[in-house]
Structure 1
Amino acid sequence: MLVRPARPDDAAAAIAAVYAPYVTDGVISFELDPPDAVEMARRMAAGETRHPWLVAEEAGAVVGYAYASAFRARAAYDRAVETTVYVAADAHGRGVGRALYDALLARLTEAGFTQAVAVIALPNDASVRLHERLGFVPIGVNPAVGYKFGRWIDVGVWQRALAVADA
């Protein structure tokens, strides 16, 4: 498996394909319509170089991706990021999520970010296990903040220190 920076010209369509089932088939994503390749490329570009997007490839095919985004828009949150990882359905259980997250967290630490925050629609035992194995700790639960497919969904927040918060 190769983990590398995502490139809009070769990864946006594949990233969109990995993500679409999370939108259409479940409540892990709160989007209602899956974004197409053009929209995914726009999202990747919006992160610029500050917030990396990574893909995992096996035999030349994208089998997962991870990215960071601004935690909040205000300047005081500038050294914290929200992290996300998605793995293709046929690649679950093979260490793809872990490999992506290891690479993402290393890049974020090197870039000087101090906190990584993950937001997980609940229940999602696999995602909770992955995050906790990576050192994320549960911070709290926002009950019934999402509504999809006719039901209310709780959202959990996990956080991991990346570096010592200094001045």
Structure 2
Amino acid sequence: MAFTRTEVQVRPGTEGDLVALTELYNHYARETSITFDTEPFTPERRRPWLRSHPEDGPHRLLVACDVQNETKNRILGYATSSAFRPKPAYATSVEVSVYVSPDAAGRGIGTLLYERLFTALATEDVHRAYAGIALPNEPSIRLHTRFGFRHVGTYEEVGRKSGRYWDVAWYEKRLGP
């Protein structure tokens, strides 16, 4: 069952979200190949990541919260736009990602987060968005394709996790002029 827009609030991530965001990310680090981090983070180790996403500008962190019922203000997922590469000429490119709580997957949270993220990025000097998707991950491919991303290449066996090598498909979306 999809969430309704009135049940979910999307807002910038804050310091108060750090523990919940870390727990959500750690699920994917421990249980999946979706991220190539192999060890869980403590909130303190994750704090620089949170602080690298201010409320405005091209590098954003948006969180989706359940605002009704007994789970009020529980984080359902988050989306980020981050620096694509550290060199200055890459400043108008961002890498985007979305993580959804496993119990909220398939309910439109990723779509809602990306709608809000790309609306915010439309006001910034950002030319391209890139997404790296560890394969296989059909739900992520469908989400990115729905938002106009196109496959631009695959790095084969680029990461080793859980005793095997994983491919990463790269997707690109034009954002600005």
Query: Under TM normalisation by the shorter chain, which class is it?
Result: over 0.9
TM-score by length of 2: 0.89
Matched, 1:162 2:172: no
Q: What is the aligned length?
A: 163
**Cα RMSD, aligned residues only:** 1.0
Matched, 1:3 2:10: yes
2 CA distance for matches of 1:86 and 1:40? 15
Offset from partner CA, 1:96-127 (integer Å, 9 cap, x none)? 00111111111112112111000000010000
TM-score by length of 1: 0.94
Give how far 1:37 is off. 1.7
Offset from partner CA, 1:36-78 (integer Å, 9 cap, x none)? 2222222111234431101000131111011111111111111
Offset from partner CA, 1:114-167 (integer Å, 9 cap, x none)? 110000000100000000011111001000000001100000000101111xxx
2 CA distance for matches of 1:98 and 1:119? 17
Runs of 4+ deviating beyond 6 Å: none
| Alignment match of 1:19 (pick from 25, 29, 49) | 25
Give how far 1:35 is off. 1.3
- For structure 2, the residue ranges without an aligned partner over 5 or more in a row are 1-7, 67-71
- The residue aligned with 1:87 is 100
2 CA distance for matches of 1:36 and 1:161? 35
Among all aligned residue pairs of Structure 1 and Structure 2, give the percentage whose two residues are the same amino acid.
Answer: 37
- For structure 1, the residue ranges without an aligned partner over 5 or more in a row are none
Matched residue type, 1:18: L
